[in-house]
Chains A and B, each alone.
Chain A
Amino acid sequence: MTFWVESLVILVVLSNLRVLGASRLSACIQTVAFQGALLGLLPVLANLDALSTRLLLQAGASTFLKAAVFPWLLGRALRQAGLQREVEPFVGFTASLAAGILFLGAALWLGARLPQAGPEELRRLVPTALFTIFVGLFVIVSRRQAVTQVLGYLILENGIYAFGMAFAEHQPLLVELGILLDVFMGVFVMGITLFHIHREFDHLDTDRLTALKD
């Protein structure tokens, strides 16, 4: 069981690094979808001997949304936007990867200092969760394309979800599903806004959205 959890954790870390280094948007979308699927499956794999309907429902809903629905929504936004397939970072790929390594170190350091709680094998998730949160925030601020900012938001959400899994197992199902629904609606509304931005401006470059300032 621990083997499964550890493999998944390593894959999540690698997926974060891949997002930082990937130059094509479609690759980023796939990686984030893969990461969502990993995190959706994690609670099932960590509790193989004590599966409950609730757990399966939660994992199923989360995996379906993050691995199938979100990539489809974002892919559609990208297809509508037509040409822009490159990530166009403010921070170059090598520098992004270097920053990623720094974040990983910071997450490990911070994770070791946090007082421990929660089920033993899920505790290993904490540094990964923190790392994912850092990467999500970094992607939001360091990438030009509006689609990438939505991806950053999803990575951030994945990290927070992983943290919640490690610690807050007593979150009621209703609230859990409410959170998923909100994230879904968030991506949906952002997708619509992306469509409008593209139709209005002919680009999805947030660096050029600068009419409003003081």
Chain B
Amino acid sequence: MIWALLGVPMAAGAAAFLIRPDRPRRLLLLAAALAHAALTAACWRLLPGPALGGYLELDAAGRLFLSLTSVLFLAAAAYAVGFLRSSGHSKEEEDEEGFLFDNAPEAVFTGCLLLFLGTMSLAALSQHFGLLWVGIEATTLVSAPLIHFHRQRRSLEATWKYLLICSVGIALALLGNFFLAVAARLHPDLLMTGRELAAHSAELDLPWLKAAFILFLVGYGTKMGLAPLHTWLPDAHSEAPSVVSALLSGALLNCAFLALLRVNAVLCAAGLADFTGGLFMGFGLLSMAVAAAFIIGQTDFKRMLAYSSVEHMGVLAFGVGLGAAAPAALLHAVNHSLTKGLLFLTAGNILAASRTKSVSEVRGLLRALPRSGVLWLVGFLAITGSPPFGPFVSELWILQGALARHRGGLAALYLALLAAVFVGMATIVLKMSHGEPCERLKDLPADDEDPWRFWPPAVLAAAVLVLGLWVPRPLLQAVKEAAAVLGAR
């Protein structure tokens, strides 16, 4: 089972590089995404046993994050079919710099997309910290060509920053792995899995453990996009094709978050929960503040979404830092992934119609692109935590956690930052949605929207709405189980 979860996307990815004609390759992408989703769904019936001597095992936490990745990938794969049909081979005019660019061969794009799914699955399945590192570093490498799909200068610059900053960051997480091994040196036969380390936490060397955590926080925090280590994120998310941005934001950041949660579990077991909690809350609130500062007055709507990811990673870190709110943070991870997928895919539709990412040049979305316009508004309301959408529930739950632990001051700061982001995003999104359609959007054919490009975000929107009205019992159960595995107090 575990091998199938890894093997399907990897094999399909390798095959995609070799298939010349477009249609079978796009079908392969859809088929592999469906197969992966089906396998993941089967894991909810029965958790598969460990493989590779316990290095690979799907626990409740891994299952939650794997499912998120899989669902989002399925939506993205369906969207990608429409995306590739319209821009797979085109030579487009790059609007902002005014020169021609050539899109990358579609085969490389599809292949890397599938390998990306495979490496993210590896990250969700790894119990061994070394293997987890291998998985996360591999996600960087296979996603770099995706960011560079539009062969032009800005995406190239974003790709270079992404590669270098993330590689260096993750290298420090590798050093963290070695520190962890030193901390466990009294017990040299220990498998470096989260579970075994937590079980022998009394024998771990605490100063080394703390140092290891800081290195992990810097390393995986870079990948997760926690301020001030987030500098690659706005560039990569805004320059990548929207399908890729949706996956980067909704799935990839979560993988790094899961890695941090797994390390955190070891430290909590060793009695260092206050130490990690403080760091998580500090980084979380800082990320929210930095994101708010850059969202207000942002001129590029994809960058706005990217900073919103920084903000929500901050919310997640804050929630985990509170400890009691860890199930809430996990639920928020679910809500954020679905909502951000919806927003980036919709942003892709707006971009395709208007050919610009500039906020000031888009007006009247609701009239010009009625369906995408509505999704854009829905996504905005959801991501800023307005009722009745999913993120509202989880953000409220985190707030309750803060109040229950008598962190009134921090709770007030958290609310103030959420409000600031709300105001910043509202100004931008409402300006774009209302009014007369601008020049760029005026002469669109009435029924311009490709169903492949409309339905994936629409389904995600429906899911976010349902999660806001009613959290299904199995999901709530899964979130609590995952939090228990990850050592929430």
Chain A residues with CB under 8 Å of chain B are: 115, 117-118, 133, 137, 140, 146, 149, 153, 156-157, 160, 163-164, 167-168, 170-172, 174-176, 178-179, 181-182, 185-186, 189-190, 192-193, 196-197, 200-201, 206, 209-212, 214
B145: chain A residues within 8 A (beta carbon): 189, 192
Closest to A164 in B: B178
Measured in the bound complex, the distance between the Cα atoms of B211 and A163 in whole Å is 14
- Complex CA gap A45/B332 in Å reads 52
Please give, as numbers and ranges, the residues of chain B lying within 8 Å of A176 by CB-CB distance: 130
Residue of B nearest to A196 (CB): B156
**A-B contacts at CB below 8 angstroms, number:** 120
Contacts of B133 in A (CB 8 A): 179
A214 vs B208: C-alpha distance in the bound complex, in angstroms?
38
**A167–B175 CB distance below 8 A:** no
Contact A175 B131 (CB under 8 A): yes
Task: Assess the B130–A153 pair: CB atoms within 8 A.
Answer: no
- Report whether A171 and B137 are in contact in the complex, using a CB–CB cutoff of 8 Å: no
**A197 touching B156, Cβ below 8 Å:** yes
Q: Which residues of A contact B478 (CB under 8 A)?
A: none
Of residues 136 to 168 in B, which have CB atoms within 8 Å of A's CB atoms?
A: 137-138, 140-141, 144-145, 148, 151-154, 156-161, 163-164, 167-168
Q: Which residue of A lies closest to B162 (CB)?
A: A193
A182 x B148 contact (CB < 8 A): no
CA distance A170 to B138 in the complex (A): 22
Bound-state CA distance A3–B29 (Å) is 57
Give the chain B neighbours of A186 by CB distance below 8 A: 137, 140-141, 163, 167
Can you list 13 contacts pairing A with B, beta carbon distance less than 8 Å? A133-B175, A153-B164, A153-B168, A157-B171, A164-B177, A170-B188, A170-B189, A174-B52, A178-B131, A181-B134, A185-B138, A190-B164, A200-B153
B29-59 contacts to A (CB < 8 Å): 52, 55
How far is it, in angstroms, between the C-alpha of A149 and the C-alpha of B168 when the chains are bound?
A: 10
Say yes or no: B156 contacts A163, CB within 8 Å.
Answer: no
CB distance from B123 to the nearest CB of A (A): 12
- The docked-state distance in angstroms from the alpha carbon of A170 to that of B190 is 9
Query: Does the CB pair A200–B171 fall under 8 Å?
Result: no
Contacts of B168 on A, CB cut-off 8 Å?
137, 140, 153, 156
A-facing residues in B290-324 (Cβ within 8 Å): 294, 298, 303
Q: How far is the CA of A146 from the CA of B160 in the complex (A)?
A: 9
Tell yes or no: B106 within 8 A of A by CB.
Answer: no
Q: CB-nearest residue of chain A relative to B134?
A: A178
Please pick, from A117, A140, A189, A201, the residue contacting B153 in the complex, using a CB distance under 8 A.
A201
Closest approach, in angstroms, between the C-beta of A188 and any C-beta of chain B?
8
What residues on A are CB-neighbors of B55 within 8 Å? 172, 174
Q: A156-B168, A175-B130 are in contact. Are A206 and B160 (CB under 8 A)?
A: yes
Across the interface, which residues of A come within 8 angstroms of B208, CB to CB?
Answer: 115
- Residues of chain B with a CB closer than 8 A to A178's CB: 130-131, 134
- Which residues of chain A have C-beta atoms less than 8 A from B235's C-beta? 212
Q: Which residues of B contact A181 (CB under 8 A)?
A: 134
Q: What is the CA–CA distance of A137 and B218 in the complex, to the nearest angstrom?
A: 14
Does B175 contact A182, Cβ atoms closer than 8 Å?
Answer: no
A-B pairs with lowest CB-CB distance, top 6: A175-B130, A168-B181, A178-B134, A182-B137, A209-B157, A212-B235
Closest to B187 in A: A170
Candidates B134, B151, B189, B207; contact of A182 at CB < 8 Å: B134
B234 CB-CB contact with A under 8 Å: yes
CB nearest to B298 among chain A residues? A214
Interface contact A175-B141, CB-CB below 8 Å: no
Interchain CA distance A95-B177 in the complex, whole Å:
33
A157 to B175, CA, bound (A): 9
Nearest chain B CB to A149's CB is how many angstroms away?
Answer: 6
Interface assignment of B182: CB less than 8 Å from any CB of chain A: yes
Complex CA–CA separation, A185 to B185 (angstroms):
30
Distance, CA A3 to CA B10, complexed state (A): 47
Interchain CB contact under 8 A, B171 and A156: yes
A160 to B303, CA, bound (A): 34
Q: Mark B187-217, 1 if CB is under 8 A from A, else 0.
A: 0110010000000000001011000000000
How far does the Cβ of B447 sit from chain A's closest Cβ, in whole Å?
Answer: 35
Whether a CB of chain A sits under 8 angstroms from the CB of B239 is yes
- A162→B93 CA distance, assembly (Å): 49
